[in-house]
Amino acid sequence: MTEENIETVDCIVIGAGVSGLVSAARMAAAGRKVVVLEASARVGGCIHSWHLRDAIRAGEAGADFWLELGAHTAYNSYSQLLEALRERGRLDDLLPREKLGYSFVGADGTLQSPLKRLNFFQAAVSLPLGIGKAKPGRSVAEWFGGLLGRGNYRRLLAPAFAAVLSQPADAFPAEWLFRRKPRMQTAPRKYSFPGGLQGLLEALVEGAAFDLRYQAGVSGVTRCEAGYKVMTAAGALACRQLILAVPVDAAAVLLSNVQPDIARDLQTFPMSSSEALGVVLPAGKSGLKPVAGLIGVDDDFWSVVTRDPIPHDTLRGFTFHFRPGRLDHAAKLARAAAVLGVTPADFLHVRETINRLPAPGVEHPRRVAAIDARLAREPLALVGNYLNGLSIGDCAERAATETDRLLALQGA
């Protein structure tokens, strides 16, 4: 096929996670012809809703049950994601999450409330000194340790933040946590969606004005007369603008020919991983009270995220986010069973997966700003969870900002 008759579109988005789908929806809403290339057979990326219907017969009890193996909570401050959902007419389908708390799991297996780990006197002394300090340029350990005291940080905040991020949080940039964002007041404060958060992304695809192609892995990107040429197993496509919504290491590979300096920089961005183990039990089997999640303290797991905030009549589900490389499958099952007060034989269904995440340090925002400055006039955008925060909302926010930049650039 000659370059003259290669399929050419306005924009190609590589990756169909939150970042890719929000980018594609926004670009298509502006009247652009968009193709989304997804290497796997599903949307979601770091969002991975495990459906029991894939493991049991249709009509069998529990066929409607799902459990999050990756990201698990969305908030009404995720305005860009909610606006995309509103355009699909699906806001009314949001499922409010019941308000449940978190408990710490001690070395002896006992549960402890967060307030029990807080030294109020230390917090009262530290707070006036720490509240006025700027977050930029400071790590999570430095800023929050100064806010509530180092002892409180070590006992309470360090394990709590590590549970949220599924990795050590001490070096994480403080400015990326708890950024103030406007809320959509008509949406529940915390929510999920029928079929889990992956179902929410599937709703963005239904009747979409962009072309989503599954199992369309990209092997390379080069420059061409139109803008960029993207190679897949099914053939090459060309586009005027390109959006990479893939993990940072994958972005580095794809940019090696078109932006080699940026590619080399991205290669040095560290990555982390956690080993997710999802288990499903009969609803009455575990004596654990309903909780949103459990926080490990010097344990083999960072956290346990439950399905309890969206209760099911007959089943309960728990996702253990284990530290990588510590336990084999049998040992993970045994640890999960011990925490839940059951035996491994009580698990009706079990599922494992690996979650890969960026591991940003305090210098990360400065490095991203330098990359953004180099791309400011380029018809290329980088979006994803390594650029301004790990949350679903951070990804959607970055996707909206970068897509608007490309639209303005094309119109200039």
Report yes or no: 114 and 229 within 8 Å, Cβ to Cβ: no
Q: Span 22-48, mean pLDDT?
A: 94
Q: What is the pLDDT of residue 60?
A: 67
161 pLDDT higher than 60: yes
> Across the strands, what pairs with 271?
358
412 pLDDT higher than 80: no
Q: Span 151-172, mean pLDDT?
A: 94
Distance between CA atoms of 281 and 80, rounded to whole angstroms? 35
pTM of the shown model? 0.93
pLDDT tens, position by position, 73-129: 899 999 888 988 888 889 999 999 999 999 999 877 889 999 999 999 999 999 998
Distance between CA atoms of 363 and 40, rounded to whole angstroms? 32
Distance between CA atoms of 41 and 215, rounded to whole angstroms? 5
Instruction: Kindly report the number of other CB atoms within 10 A of residue 311's CB atom.
Output: 13
Q: What is the pLDDT of residue 202?
A: 92
Burial class of residue 88 (count of CB atoms within 10 Å of its CB; 0-12, 13-18, 19+): middle
Q: Span 171-180, mean pLDDT?
A: 90
Q: Span 383-390, mean pLDDT?
A: 92
Q: Span 208-227, mean pLDDT?
A: 93
Question: Confidence class of residue 62 from pLDDT cuts 50, 70 and 90?
Answer: confident
Q: What is the pLDDT of residue 64?
A: 87
pLDDT tens, position by position, 193-202: 999 999 999 9
Q: DSSP string of 313-377?
A: SSEEEEEEEEPTTS--HHHHHHHHHHHHTS-GGG-SEEEEEEEEEE---TTHHHHHHHHHHHHTT
Range list of H helices, 166-310: 197-205, 248-254, 260-267
56 pLDDT higher than 90: no
Burial class of residue 194 (count of CB atoms within 10 Å of its CB; 0-12, 13-18, 19+): middle
CA distances from 190 to 94, 287, 385 (A): 9, 26, 20
Q: Which residue type, as a one-letter code, is found at position 325?
A: G
Q: What is the pLDDT of residue 278?
A: 97
> Across the strands, what pairs with 277?
320, 352
Report yes or no: 75 and 190 within 8 Å, Cβ to Cβ: yes
Domains for the chain: give ranges and CATH numbers.
Answer: 3-45+192-270+360-411 (3.50.50.60), 115-176 (no CATH)
Report yes or no: 384 and 248 within 8 Å, Cβ to Cβ: yes
Nearest CA-CA partner of 344 in 313, 320, 311 = 320
Q: What is the pLDDT of residue 59?
A: 57
309 pLDDT higher than 50: yes
Q: Which residues contact 98 (CB under 8 A, 6 or more apart)?
A: 290, 308, 309, 310, 311
Q: What is the pLDDT of residue 57?
A: 63
Nearest CA-CA partner of 10 in 201, 241, 274 = 241
In the chain, % of residues over pLDDT 90:
82
Report yes or no: 165 and 386 within 8 Å, Cβ to Cβ: no
Distance between CA atoms of 290 and 274, rounded to whole angstroms? 24
Q: What is the pLDDT of residue 1?
A: 44
Distance between CA atoms of 389 and 371, rounded to whole angstroms? 16
Report yes or no: 45 and 74 within 8 Å, Cβ to Cβ: no
Distance between CA atoms of 320 and 252, rounded to whole angstroms? 30
Question: Confidence class of residue 18 from pLDDT cuts 50, 70 and 90?
Answer: very high
